[in-house]
Amino acid sequence: MLLIPAIDLKDGHCVRLKQGDMELATVFSKDPADMALHWLKAGARRLHLVDLNGAFAGKPKNEDAVKSILQVVQQFALDNGIDQIPVQLGGGIRDLDTIERYLDAGISYVIIGTAAVRNPGFVQDACSAFPGHIIVGLDAKDGKVATDGWSKMSGHEVIDLAKKFETYGVESIIYTDIGRDGMMGGVNIDATVKLAQAVKMPVIASGGVHVIGDVEALCAVQGEGIAAVICGRSIYEGTLDLASAQLRADDLTQAASN
């Protein structure tokens, strides 16, 4: 079970939202690159970036911050003899040119969210053009997918869309329960497992992680196809220590494989 720190970008700063509300943003750092380095030093093996302004505008808005993070990640990997530290990015990605630009800059995986729901053909084209680099983010409440920074409900069923995207060759699915994100009330284990059981590709859990018990609960069901969990407010406010939580997850994974 991989723990992936989230770095949400708003106006060039590292923030966290409550339930996707841009008006409920808490600024945790004015230097996102420095925050990225902090998580790398704490043992992060992958980073999750979200261009929040981009998600609402429908086009990239925090590219400078993204590039500064990538420089820090690449230097850290070089200094520590690590081949690669993957960085995944979502928010405002609506065309193939944007994907290509980000991949060329050093992003490992591009996350398509709203555009995937509105235009599934775009996901198919992206998977064909950039195989192995496309992740779809499905944000849902009560099994229905939300779009436009969670401001609109689509009426689409999460599992139906996930199955469709799997046939296109999506690398993995990030599943966020928007009723829990930023609230630190625990992960929606049942819904996440239900989705993971319905597809063969890896599912990345997101939303609601609060304490080490939430990580342990996910580790207990990772055999269903849950590969990782994105951690946000919990690691910023200190209710979850990233380094010790990753070590605990590693121990549980090792024990399960024996």
- Residue numbers annotated as active site: 8, 139
What's the rounded Cα separation, in Å, for the pair 205 and 227?
A: 8
Residue 85 phi, psi dihedral angles, 5° rounding = -115, 105
What's the rounded Cα separation, in Å, for the pair 197 and 178?
A: 20
Token pair, residue 165, equals 């995207």
Q: Is the dihedral of CA 222, 226, 231, 233 positive or negative?
A: negative
What's the rounded Cα separation, in Å, for the pair 175 and 127?
A: 19
The alpha helices in the chain, defined as continuous H runs, are 32-41, 52-57, 63-79, 96-105, 114-118, 120-129, 158-168, 189-198, 212-219, 233-237, 242-257
Residue 150, by phi and psi: left (phi above 0), alpha (psi -120 to 50) or beta? left
C-alpha atoms less than 13 angstroms from C-alpha of 24 in its C-beta half-sphere = 9
Q: What is the DSSP string of 138-157?
A: EEEETTEEEETTTTEEEEEE
Token pair, residue 191, equals 């819904």
What's the rounded Cα separation, in Å, for the pair 14 and 84?
A: 23
